[in-house]
Structure formats: C-alpha cells, structure tokens
Amino acid sequence: MPSLKDLRNRIASVKATQKITKAMQMVAAAKLRRAQTAAEAARPYAQRMAEVLGNLASGITVGPETPRLLAGTGSDRVHLLIVCTAERGLCGAFNSSISRLAREHATRLMAEGKTVKIICVGKKGYDILRRQFSQQIIEFVDLRSVRQIGFEQADMIAQKVLGLFEQGEFDVATLFYSQFRSVIAQIPTAQQIVPTQIEATGAASDAVYEYEPEEGEILETLLPRNLTVQIFRALLENAASEQGARMSAMDNATRNAGEMIKKQTMTYNRSRQAMITKELIEIISGAEAL
C-alpha cells in the first residue's frame, strides 16, 4: 500500500502531464486549421494540372519520342520509394502507419528480386526505416527548420528525384504519404509518380488543339512540373494529417489522464479515511482500556 504522500505526488504528476497534453492538443488544433486551409488551397492547382495533363496526353500516342517521364524507362527493375513522414512524434500511429505501408511495399519488391532505393522526408520515418533498410536509404531530407511548407521545399525534393531519374538511377518512383480525410481519419497512401500516371479524362474533347510551342516541348516542361506539384500536395496533406493525428492522440491522452486522476483521487481519499478510522479506533480502544 503506497503512503498518502506517494499518492499525492502521483496525482500531481499526472495532473502536470495532463496540462501538457491539453496544451499540445490546443496547439495542434490551431496548427491544423492553418495546415488544412493550405492543403485545400493547393488542391485546385493539382486538379487543374491533372486535367491539363490529361487533355494533352490523350492527344498523343506513346512513341520513342515520348518523354521518358511519361512513357517510363521500359523496365521496372529499380524502385524508388519517397517516404514522407513528420519531424516530430507524439502523433499517434501517424508515422508508424506510413512507415509500415512503405516497409510492406519495400519487402514485397525485394522478395520479387527488385532493387529498392528509399528517400526519407522527415526524421521520424527515417528513424523507423533505418533499422531495417539502412542499405537502401540513399537520402534523408530534413524539413525540421521549415515552419510553413512552401513550394520551394517540394521543388527541392522534385529536383533531386528528377536528377536521379536522368542519371538512370531508378525506373519507378512511388510516393508515400498520408491523405487527410478528417481529424480522425488519415489514410496512408502510396502513389506512383514516375512514370506519370494519367487519369483518363472522361470528356476527352475531340476539338483539335493548337500548341505553342510544340506539343513535345510543352509536355517536357509540364511533366517535371507535375512531379513537383504532386510532391507539394503530398507534403501539405501530410502536414494537415500530422496535426490531425496529433490532435486526436493528445485528446485521448488528456482523457486518459483525467480518468487516471479520478481513480487515484479515489484511492487517495479511501486510504485517507481508512487512516482516520484507524486512528479513531486506536483512541477509542485506548480510552476503553483505561
């Protein structure tokens, strides 16, 4: 049986923890709003980009002149996985669920005899994947100093990926991130970005397009651009998901702490009363004995 002092200390420490988790929850809620607006503001661009690309790609036939970003290298021997996670922990299963998806993907590819290369964006995913795939990780992008994710960060990552592609370092690239559905639902997603996947636009206009400059030239600038946009979108979705996950994790933690305080206070009061009763009995029985 712990002493009353021990119990008091324990309650105080849980209360302190609860204060911290509560504060973190509120900070996450405020950040979430900002991240969510950013993610939503970026959606139209990505959507229009996909439409434009769809329009353009539906007009051309894949031939030897087609840019390799669209047509692929013709093999799928070397896979590049770009794993986007958070820089900080304490956000529930957010980091581990993205890493798990990436790990399953990597293990499956390796079992098929393919070469796997990994680029980690975000420290947490790097920490998790490093244990198993230290040979495969070729790069680690640190975004810890970045407060608000901008287009520049996405561009930097895209340039790295494009550089590797031009040197023939990989054939297929897949992006791993968490899609933001709502505060309680974040869906870890794998999205193939190289070769570019074109969503077939249902209403493919049969109108003849004019191109200025040449079709191929436009495609050549549009495709790397699209890659950057996809990465940018993934980073923003990830940022919103991270805050959402942290908010619900901290909400849970606060609630658990509340429950624990209640239970501890109950035990504390019980043992305090038991002690008083015991003392009373001692006094009464002492008086009776006289």
Partner 1 sequence: MATFNFELVSPERVLFSGQVDAVILPASDGEMTVLAGHAPMMTTLKTGFLIITDTPGNGRRVLVRGGFADVNPNGLTVLAERALPAEELTQEILDREILQAEMQYDATNDPAAKHAAESAVAQLREAKAALNF
C-beta of 196 vs 254, nearer to partner 1:
196
Nearer to partner 1, 13 or 148 (CB): 148
What is the full DSSP assignment across 50-78? HHHHHHHHHHS---TTS-HHHH--S---E
Binding site for partner 1 (CB under 8 A): 38, 41-42, 44-45, 48-49, 51-52, 55-56, 150-151, 205, 207-213, 217-218, 221-222, 225, 229, 232
Task: Decide: 177 and 155 in contact? Cβ < 8 Å.
Answer: no
3-state secondary structure of 88: coil
CA dist 48 to 55, 191, 216, 229, 234, Å?
Answer: 10, 18, 19, 11, 16
Least CB distance to partner 1 at residue 121 (A): 18
- Residue 48 beta carbon to partner 1: minimum distance, rounded to whole angstroms: 5
Cross-strand pairs, 104: none
Taking the C-alpha atoms of residue 172 and residue 112, their distance in angstroms, rounded to an integer, is: 15
- Give the whole-angstrom CA distance, residue 70 versus residue 247: 39
By C-beta, is 40 or 282 nearer to partner 1?
40
Minimum gap (Å) between residue 160 Cβ and partner 1: 15
Active-site residue, selected from the candidate residues 69, 70, 91, 247: 91
Kindly state the smallest distance separating residue 233's Cβ from partner 1, in Å. 9
Task: Pinpoint the alpha helices (H) of 60-176.
Answer: 68-71, 94-111, 123-133, 151-166
Q: Based on the residue annotation, tell me whether 91 is a catalytic residue of this protein.
A: yes
Measure the CA–CA gap between 118 and 138, rounded to whole angstroms. 6
Cβ proximity to partner 1: between 42 and 239 the closer is: 42
| Residues identified as active-site | 91
